[in-house]
Amino acid sequence: MTRLVKIFRYDPKLDIEGEYILYEIETIPGMSIMDVLEYVRSYIDPSLSYYSHSACRHGICDRCFVRINGKNGLACETPVPETKDLYIGPVSKDRVLKDLITQKRKNHKSKQMNEPLETALFSDADHFMIFSKNKEAVVAAYQDKLGFNLKYGGRNDSFGYENYIIGFGLVYLEILSLFDWKAGLANGMISGELADLFENRKALCLTYAMRTEQIDELANRVNQHGLEAIGPLSMERKRPDGKIPKWKLCLPGGITFRRAQIPFFVQWMTDDLERLSWEEPVSHPNGAVAITGFSIAVKDLNSARKIYEDSFGCELYGEFDIRELNARCARYRVGQVFIDLISPSGEGPVKQFIEEVGDGPFEIKFKVEDINQTAAFFSKQKIKAEKEVIAENGLLVDDISLFGIRILFA
Amino acid sequence: MDGESAVAYGYDGDPLFTKEVWFEEIVKQGFYLSDQKIVETYVDQAAPLVKQVVDWGQKANQYFHFFKPGGFFTSGKAMGRALKQGISEHPDINVIEDIFITDLLTRDHRCVGAIGIDVYSGEVIVIKAKAVIIGTGGFQPFSLKVTASDMTGDGIGMALRGGVSVADMEFPLYVPGVCLWPPIHKGSIFPFLYNIITSSYPETPEPKMINSLGRDISKIIPPDQLSMAKGSEWMKLIFTYWWGKEIVEGRGSSNHGIYFSFEDFSGKAFLEGTQTIINMLPIWYKDLWKYQGDDISDLRDLVVEGKPWEVGLGNEYSNGGIMVNEKAQTELPGFYAAGECSTGCFGAHRVHDALVEMLVQGHVAGEYASHYIKNIEAPKIDREQVKYYINRICSPLNRKKGVSPLQVRKGIEKAADKGFNLIREEKRMKDALSDIQEIKREMIPRMSTTSETRAYNQEWIESIEAENLLLCLEAGLRAAIERKESRGTHIRSDYPEVDHDNFLKRICFKLNEKKLDMFTSQPNVTRMDLPKGKVENIMEYALSCEPKFKNAGGNGTLKNQPKNNKKGGSS
């Protein structure tokens, strides 16, 4: 059977960045992804690189990890999926050496043999949770003012909230509007402490979720590091359209929406492409097309780094000062996003944030199609009335009390 | 290990399986081509080294199942984890990974280090060393093989270029029952293990071996040979002989194998009958119907749907390799070879364990190399030689256009399948030799990588491997043509006799001005005199060995074994 496959190609001598190239291949039943790659090498392009220099082909050496339709897996053990599309990419695009081969981690302990190449235990951002006191404030702030396309996600009467989704493909912002504060308090959805945080603000980003393909190992690792994870729990819900997404959830540090420095983890059991097919393509009037990074304010950078590096396996991208924030930043690159841990060096917005709210998500960055168009849009929306500065060639909207988080468009 | 040592360690070993018996079995099974000094070292040193690995394995929470007379049954992954445990207990060992050593560095007729490529960065690396020990594995020139993808005779190639002799290259070993279908399982040895283990569990449905005409091959095999094969590692040679005939004479399956048919069993009977052994799989693997990383439930489903398993003879091991003595020393001072890349222990046919060969030779190599380095000066590298080798290995990268190394590799495999595989015959061997001589002449000097990038350039690595594999196959084919008899896994349809009078000798090669020079040598004899005369064919010889012990996990009883044997054999 003839079918099309898109394979990520990158040659450091020829390309500035990699891209997916379409190949037409002949498949027979019972092929693995490695068989597909071998077909491409044998009949189309022998320069394709994937783990092969000492490969067992039977799931013993655990080295031939690639990303198949958004999920990491061993090429030799993964049957060719029956999905319409077939994408094969590297486990991490930012560590790509050539095609499907990624750089080994610098702190890869040479004494540990057979370690899979992908050691960061989460693979990308999944979603951010912004809490708001009321629905009108949410719609007014995010849709009417900031120009995001808000999608109503449903209502939970026992916990007293409705939710809205701002989607960017598989990554999204979830805005929870608590219409029944009492029910929320009674059911442990929110705590008294949390209630205090909303005294003087309309919204707050309380936590975020990272997606992982190794939730069991992640749970073990965080438990070993004393973060006492709850889960992995198998979850599913019925959407208003009747579709039932399934996922597994792991909550380090227990069930609380206020988890300060650390995220919680989601492993999707429903196929990415299937989930994507459920959604209409969304465009946001403000021109935002993707979430490219976020920062977490932390009091103690070293202890936060320890958690991200030792417990979560993140590789440090760099540590540097951010002068305009008067803060020190430790940056990680995970999947498509940068994670910045920022800690105040002295007086400044980060310090002020921590004093008011404590450790937690501080800023989120969106990529826009055209920054001038976004600027024009904001000007039309009179967002200039809000404090707007140019930072990193972007537009910053920093009214945390209104939006729950600083928002940067770049 | 030998049965007496096993008993001494507290295992339920068979004391009749003494070191002497073991020695005799190896020499006879090797058709008397073994270096008997190497065999003595093997049987003498095995027990404590095997015990050491089992202990490491238990510390790493891996299961090693003891079976009579003195063996252990485990998974490759468990073995890997045990060795990893051993390394972690020796913090002085500095491990560097993913370095592809391409050549030995020599000066004043001694080995002074090695040169290679960091596969990920593409950097060329020079390692200066007083002594070099290699454990680089064998060569598998065929399209169907069962071990890692880099079994391309790289150590044998570098030894030849370093002026060291190789021998016994005409004796590749095959596993009968390697998956050919579906493609995701191609090369898996699960059907072989399943078949061998059925002899221990009578309730397990035994597959019928069927050729493409639907004939039961077990009816063709004489009963005494069939009984010798069952539950024994002898199965490898006996089935290679009989299946090989079917395949070479055109009665094989579409993918050049045969079929394991379960037509005598209903789907229900198959599922019930396989319960015991399938329930054992989670001891080593994660799940029922999981073998290594493979989800083999599709093999189960095939049987339930009334379909057979298509299986073949996959190349597992090369008896031939670098010539060493019982100290794992080669003729180049400072250069040692251990395990499958070397030769001498198993002669023309291996029945006993290659893992033990690896352990014993690795150990003695380390021991003697550590003595050797005490009394020699620090090595000096010959810069001209380094330049020469860099030029050699980088030339496919620098060539703007030419032949794809992958096509060279495929050409080598095609030639090996044609003339070197299973049952041999003069004309096919000569045709194959002429094919590879053409590849050597026309393609090797023109090999070119599509990309000039050095970082993980698969074609670049392939170009170096292709040259080594070709050298090994050329030596193998020439020795096979020269050996006008049948012996061990060298089975000839035109010369079926085992001819002790004319061919009880080892065929060896040395590289001279880029050409392989052939010579012969007599096997080293210590205790067992070499036989004389002729035997009618390989199978008659096999029967004459009258092995007293079956060396396979299949003749133990895994039933009722504890899942975790942490306490096993710790007395």
Q: pLDDT by residue (tens digit) across B141-176?
A: 999 999 999 999 999 999 999 999 999 999 999 999
The chain-wide mean pLDDT, for chain B, equals 93
* Whole-Å CA distances, A278 to A29, A84, A242, B209: 28, 15, 11, 50
Cis amide linkage into residue B182, ω under 30° from 0? yes
Q: Which residues pair with A96 in a beta bridge?
A: A102
Q: Among B487, B191, B504, which residue's Cα sits nearest to residue B349?
A: B487
CB-CB: which of A35, A45, A74 is closest to B183?
A: A35
CB-CB: which of A60, A101, A113 is closest to B292?
A: A60
Dist CA B72 CA A233 (whole Å): 39
CB-CB: which of B95, B119, B461 is closest to A111?
A: B95
Residue A320, H or E segment: strand A316-322
What is the 3-class SS of B40-95, one letter each residue? HHHHHHHHHHHHHHHHHHHHCCCCCEEECCCEEECCHHHHHHHHHHHHHCCCCCCC
Mean pLDDT of the B471-490 span: 98
Minimum distance, in Å, between the CA of residue B177 and any CA atom of chain A: 16
Chain B CB contacts of A98 below 8 Å: 451, 453, 455-457
Q: Let me know how long chain B is.
A: 571
What number of H helices and E strands is found in chain A? 10, 23
Q: φ and ψ at B13, to 5 degrees?
A: -80, 170
What is the interface size between A and B, counted as CB pairs within 8 Å?
128
Dist CA B87 CA B85 (whole Å): 5
B464: nearest CA in chain A?
A53
Is A26 touching B (CB cutoff 8 A)?
Answer: no
Q: Among A298, A356, A305, which residue's Cα sits nearest to residue A331?
A: A305
Minimum distance, in Å, between the CA of residue B24 and any CA atom of chain A: 34
* Whole-Å CA distances, B158 to A131, B212, B357: 66, 42, 21
Dist CA A114 CA A124 (whole Å): 24
Q: What is residue B229's three-state secondary structure?
A: helix
User: What's the pLDDT at B265?
Assistant: 95
pLDDT at B570 over 60: no
User: What's the pLDDT at A40?
Assistant: 97
Sequence-separated (6 or more) residues with CB below 8 Å from residue B353: B71, B551
pLDDT digits (tens, 9 = 90+) for B393-451: 999 999 989 999 999 999 999 999 999 999 999 999 999 999 999 999 999 999 999 99
A45: nearest CA in chain B?
B450
Token couple for B251: 């009665």
User: What's the pLDDT at A114?
Assistant: 33
For A183-282, list the strands marked E by DSSP.
Answer: 203-211, 229-236, 246-252, 264-268
A56: nearest CA in chain B?
B148
CB-CB: which of A11, A52, A104 is closest to B120?
A: A104
Give the residue carrying structure tokens 């000492």: A54
User: What's the pLDDT at A187?
Assistant: 67
Q: What is residue B209's three-state secondary structure?
A: strand
Given phi > 0 = left and psi -120 to 50 = alpha, else beta, which region is A30?
left
Chain A CB contacts of B94 below 8 Å: 110-111
Q: Please say whether the beta carbons of B351 and B173 come within 8 A.
A: no
pLDDT band at B552 (very low <50, low <70, confident <90, very high): low
B86: nearest CA in chain A?
A111
Residue B106, H or E segment: strand B99-107
Q: A30, B97: Cβ pair inside 8 Å?
A: no
Dist CA B162 CA B99 (whole Å): 19
Dist CA B234 CA B571 (whole Å): 32
Q: Among B519, B117, B128, B153, which residue's Cα sits nearest to residue B337?
A: B153
Q: Among A203, A401, A79, A121, which residue's Cα sits nearest to residue B298?
A: A79
Token couple for B396: 């496919």
Q: B450, A47: Cβ pair inside 8 Å?
A: yes
User: What's the pLDDT at A261?
Assistant: 79
Query: CA torsion sign, B20 to B25 to B30 to B32?
Result: positive
Minimum distance, in Å, between the CA of residue A32 and any CA atom of chain B: 5
DSSP B355-388: HHHHHHHHHHHHHHHHHHGGGSPPP---HHHHHH
Q: What is residue B249's three-state secondary structure?
A: coil
Q: Let me know how long chain A is.
A: 410
User: What's the pLDDT at A281?
Assistant: 77
Q: B183, A114: Cβ pair inside 8 Å?
A: no
A99: nearest CA in chain B?
B456
> How would you write the pLDDT of chain A (410 residues) with one tens digit per residue?
899 999 999 999 888 888 999 999 999 999 999 999 999 999 999 999 999 999 999 998 889 999 999 888 999 999 999 988 899 999 887 789 999 999 875 544 433 333 333 456 888 899 998 888 777 887 888 888 889 998 888 887 777 788 889 999 889 999 888 777 777 777 666 666 677 777 777 888 888 999 988 888 888 888 877 777 888 888 888 887 888 889 999 888 765 666 677 889 999 988 887 888 887 778 899 899 999 899 999 999 998 998 888 888 887 777 788 888 899 999 888 877 889 999 999 999 999 999 988 899 999 999 888 888 888 888 887 775 454 454 456 788 877 777 888 888 88
CB-CB: which of A55, A58, A104 is closest to B294?
A: A58
Minimum distance, in Å, between the CA of residue A255 and any CA atom of chain B: 30
- DSSP structural state of residue B230: T
Identify the residue among B178, B451, B459 best suited for mutation to test binding to A, counting A beta carbons within 10 A and taking the highest.
Answer: B451
Of residues B411 and B197, the one with the higher pLDDT is B411
Dist CA A162 CA A180 (whole Å): 10
Is A1 touching B (CB cutoff 8 A)?
Answer: no
A10: nearest CA in chain B?
B453
Q: Please say whether the beta carbons of B317 and B358 come within 8 A.
A: no
CB-CB: which of A29, A54, A103 is closest to B182?
A: A29
CB-CB: which of B87, B182, B449 is closest to A30?
A: B182
Q: What is residue B472's three-state secondary structure?
A: helix
Q: What is residue A207's three-state secondary structure?
A: strand
Within 13 Å, how many C-alpha atoms sit on residue B21's CB side?
Answer: 17
B179: nearest CA in chain A?
A58
Minimum distance, in Å, between the CA of residue A57 and any CA atom of chain B: 8
Query: CA torsion sign, A150 to A155 to A159 to A161?
Result: positive
Q: A60, B293: Cβ pair inside 8 Å?
A: yes
Within 13 Å, how many C-alpha atoms sit on residue A112's CB side?
Answer: 9
Burial of A109 (0-12, 13-18, 19+ CB in 10 A): exposed
Q: A58, B293: Cβ pair inside 8 Å?
A: yes
B146: nearest CA in chain A?
A56
pLDDT band at B255 (very low <50, low <70, confident <90, very high): very high
For B270-396, list the strands marked E by DSSP.
Answer: 290-291, 294-295, 309-318, 321-323, 335-337, 342-343
Chain A CB contacts of B152 below 8 Å: none
What number of H helices and E strands is found in chain B? 19, 22
Q: Please say whether the beta carbons of B162 and B143 come within 8 A.
A: no
* Cβ-based neighbour number of residue A263 at 10 Å: 25
Helices (H), A121-191: 135-138, 181-186
* Whole-Å CA distances, A310 to A297, A306, B562: 19, 5, 36
Mean pLDDT of the B455-462 span: 96
pLDDT band at B219 (very low <50, low <70, confident <90, very high): very high
Q: A56, B148: Cβ pair inside 8 Å?
A: yes
Q: Please say whether the beta carbons of A336 and A293 come within 8 A.
A: no
Strands B321-323 and B342-343: parallel
B397: nearest CA in chain A?
A47
Q: B187, A45: Cβ pair inside 8 Å?
A: no
Q: B407, A46: Cβ pair inside 8 Å?
A: yes
Chain B CB contacts of A111 below 8 Å: 87-88, 91, 93-95
Mean pLDDT of the B223-249 span: 94
Chain B CB contacts of A11 below 8 Å: 451, 453
Q: A31, B183: Cβ pair inside 8 Å?
A: yes
Contacts by residues B401-405 (CB-CB < 8 Å, ≥ 24 positions apart): B401/B448, B402/B446, B402/B447, B402/B448, B403/B443, B403/B446, B403/B447, B403/B448, B404/A46, B404/B447, B404/B448, B404/B450, B404/B459, B405/A46, B405/B447, B405/B449, B405/B459, B405/B460, B405/B462, B405/B463, B405/B465, B405/B466
Q: A114, B80: Cβ pair inside 8 Å?
A: yes
B120: nearest CA in chain A?
A103
B366-390 burial, b at 16+ Cβ within 10 Å, e below that, comes to: eebbeebeeeeeebebeeebbeebb
Q: Please say whether the beta carbons of B122 and B460 come within 8 A.
A: yes
* Cβ-based neighbour number of residue A269 at 10 Å: 13
User: What's the pLDDT at A105?
Assistant: 58
Q: A46, B187: Cβ pair inside 8 Å?
A: no
Mean pLDDT of the B320-328 span: 98
Q: Among B497, B451, B344, B359, which residue's Cα sits nearest to residue B51?
A: B359
Q: A111, B458: Cβ pair inside 8 Å?
A: no
Token couple for B218: 């077990």
Dist CA B137 CA B337 (whole Å): 10
B475-492 burial, b at 16+ Cβ within 10 Å, e below that, comes to: bbbbbbbebebbbbbbbb
Minimum distance, in Å, between the CA of residue B528 and any CA atom of chain A: 39
